[in-house]
Amino acid sequence: MSLLTNVMDHSLDDGYAEAAARKQGGGGMPKTLRAKLGLAAGLVLAALVVTVGAAQARVAAPVVAKEREELIDRIDRETEAADKLEASVDKLRDDVSARQRAALEKSGGSGRGDLVGVLSGAVAVHGPGVKLVVDDAKEASSGGNGDPRETADFSDTGRVRDRDMQRVVNGLWESGAEAVSINGQRLTSLSAIRAAGDAILVDNKPLVPPYTVLAVGDGKNLSTRFQDSADGLYLDALRENFGIRTAISVEDDVRLPAAPSVIVRTAQPSTETEKGTS
């Protein structure tokens, strides 16, 4: 009973009672002169730190602004220099193309030179042909938040692969195409279509879907031959089985640019002396 009586008489802990008494007495503020001086010194120090920080930020602001302006000026200068270099490259490329055409005309006549330029991709061409668009399946985006390029790798069967584009291009050549380009990249006999990570490369330049293939040739016959060929049937099977989206149309005039660089290689017959020493 004495325990219960003690609990009833002292239901509030002694520590809580003391804290309440201090609060009523002075609100927790220091009462001695030393404590008050310490509090004042702390407040002065905090104000000093804030003031010094603001002053330093104000002093540094013009320096930062100046550095930013210098960086912008440097970017502008470098961009201008890059544009000049690009213009120089284009001029030199045109000069090389003109010299190549002159050499071809000198060696085999104008008609032969034009034909070689077209077949090698050294000159821009235009004429009737077909337009073939190949794109990833809609379902291929389910693993990449709406972007097929963000899926893990090319194991997704709903994505267009490099070997698919290889078969498309080879099928067009076999069906009678005279010139072919993919997304504006002109293909030559030395062009390569490969995969690097999540991208398809054409001559080491990454492309993104949809892949637009333009081919110059006898438009209607070219379209029919390609769709009836093994590679055309392969593309149709991709559409039926994996949802690859394709669309082919006959065009009255398609324009293909020249290849950015053409490596000219020639072979010379070996002499009897070279045969003996080889």
> Quick one: pLDDT at residue 204?
84
> Quick one: pLDDT at residue 154?
47
Tokens standing for residue 225: 């031959």
Report the side by side order of strands in the sheet with 179-182.
185-186, 179-182, 211-216, 125-135, 245-256
User: Per-residue DSSP letters for 73-91?
Assistant: HHHHHHHHHHHHHHHHHHH
The pLDDT averaged over each successive group of 10 residues in the chain (278 residues) is 59 61 57 74 84 76 80 91 88 77 61 66 85 88 46 62 93 93 89 86 88 93 94 92 92 87 67 57
User: Per-residue DSSP letters for 191-225?
Assistant: --EEEETTEEEETTEEE-SSEEEEEES-HHHHHHH
Q: Tell me, what DSSP letter sits at residue 143?
A: G
> Quick one: pLDDT at residue 27?
52
Rounded CA separation 154/55 (Å): 57
126-256: CATH topology: Alpha-Beta Plaits (3.30.70)
Which residues 6+ apart lie within 8 Å of 194 measured at CB?
162, 200, 201
pTM of the model: 0.56
Rounded CA separation 249/228 (Å): 15
C-alpha distances (whole Å) from 255 to each of 96, 160, 194, 207, 224 are: 21, 24, 24, 19, 21
Residues 133-146 have pLDDT tens digits of 999 988 775 444 44
